[in-house]
């Protein structure tokens, strides 16, 4: 009797949404943006601009970086929050 070859499970093909931004003065527009992205993708990664990167861009956030990260992370549509440190992350 031949034994059936054990098949490895298919690799998980997850579509990942990516949303870089400052997210200063977090508001309902940000929540709606994350909701729309999450509806189209399996995972949402949000890159929050660091205060240092904002300075390079000539911007200054009202809300400190750590607080902006905490607010974004608290949004139920967001799976992961990472720092945005340079222009290459926008590509």
- C-alpha span between 72 and 78 (Å, rounded): 7
User: Which residues are marked as active site?
Assistant: 57, 59
The distance of Cα 39 from the centroid of its chain, to the nearest Å, equals 14
DSSP reduced 3-state for 58 = coil
Cα(71)–Cα(50) distance, rounded to whole angstroms?
A: 14
Write down the pTM of the prediction: 0.82
Least confident of 13-17, 46-50, 76-80: 13-17
Span 50-74, pLDDT tens digits: 999 999 999 999 999 999 999 999 9
């Amino acid at each position: 009797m031949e034994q059936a070859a054990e098949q490895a499970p298919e690799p998980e093909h997850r579509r990942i949404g990516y949303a870089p931004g400052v997210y200063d003065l977090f508001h309902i527009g940000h929540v709606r943006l994350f909701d729309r992205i999450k509806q189209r993708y399996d995972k949402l990664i949000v890159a929050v601009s660091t205060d240092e990167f904002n300075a390079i861009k000539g911007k200054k956030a009202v809300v400190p970086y750590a607080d902006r990260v905490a607010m974004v992370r608290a949004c139920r549509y967001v799976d992961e929050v990472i720092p945005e440190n340079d222009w290459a992350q926008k590509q």
